[in-house]
């Protein structure tokens, strides 16, 4: 991974972190995604089901390009009786909606060809209803709960909207490869979401959310 200056801007961070992720070969990404999914199940979802004594409501994205792939979590959650949601970009609007999904595929191609639930075959989720866990993709994460996204702000606005309309706190979990979890501060703004935890192929950790 390339070296960053003490206070790099977001564009430079995105360039370097995207390059680091893209440099992982397909086999490595597949193997690390499998480990990631197992960690989420055994270190987060299964204990949470046991604690709450009920199935969960989990929001799971569909991987795009070199992103860590959480599809095995979707498959296992459906078998476990969880309610599974997935984000969809609302066309002509700068926001995402959530839809109830009942299978890993087929999904449609949305904006920028990102896989998303087909609105013709999925039910719209009421954001005021409780969501237990939201898995969040990104380019970089750290133990402070800071996340480097892609610049569109979609997850930040979803985070803000859920906080406004839902009385049920959700766990926001960064999901990525070990080379995306860094020890440095990330450039953030006041509207950026703060993660509750981060999972990689090497660890699951709760974040400090230190200001």
Instruction: Give the three-state DSSP class for 55.
Output: coil
Which residue numbers belong to the known binding site for substrate?
67
In sign, the C-alpha dihedral spanning 30, 33, 37, 39 is positive
CA-wise closest residue to 125 among 155, 166, 75, 64: 166
CA neighbor of 132 nearest in space, from 168, 78, 81: 168
Q: What are phi and psi of 193, to 5 degrees?
A: -70, 155
- Residue positions forming the annotated binding site: 10-14, 67, 147-155
Phi/psi for 12 (5° steps) reads: -70, -40
74 close to 84: Cβ distance less than 8 angstroms: yes
Binding region for ATP: 10-14, 147-155
Non-local (6+) Cβ contacts of 111 within 8 A are: 89, 91
Q: How many CA atoms lie within 13 A of 135 on its CB side?
A: 31
78: left (phi over 0), alpha (psi -120 to 50) or beta: alpha
* SS3 (DSSP) at 179: helix
Token pair of 191 as six digits: 């509207």
């Amino acid at each position: 991974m390339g070296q960053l200056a003490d206070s790099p801007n977001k564009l430079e961070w995105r360039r370097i972190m995207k390059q680091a992720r893209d440099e992982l070969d397909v086999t490595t990404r597949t193997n690390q995604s499998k480990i990631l999914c197992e960690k989420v199940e055994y270190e987060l979802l299964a204990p949470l089901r046991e604690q709450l004594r009920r199935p969960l409501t989990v929001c799971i994205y569909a991987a795009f390009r070199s992103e860590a792939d959480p599809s095995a979590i979707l498959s296992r959650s459906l078998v476990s009786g969880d309610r599974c949601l997935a984000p969809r970009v609302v066309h002509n609007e700068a926001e995402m909606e959530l839809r109830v999904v009942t299978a890993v595929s087929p999904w449609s191609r949305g904006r920028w060809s990102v896989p998303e639930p087909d609105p013709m075959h999925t039910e719209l989720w009421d954001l005021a209803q409780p969501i237990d866990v939201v898995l969040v993709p990104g380019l970089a994460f750290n133990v402070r709960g800071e996340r480097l996204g892609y610049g569109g702000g979609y997850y930040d606005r979803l985070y803000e909207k859920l906080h406004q309309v839902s009385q049920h706190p959700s766990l926001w979990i960064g999901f990525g490869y070990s080379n995306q979890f860094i020890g440095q501060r990330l450039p953030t703004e006041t509207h950026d979401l703060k993660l509750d935890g981060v999972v990689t192929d090497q660890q699951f950790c709760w974040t400090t959310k230190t200001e």
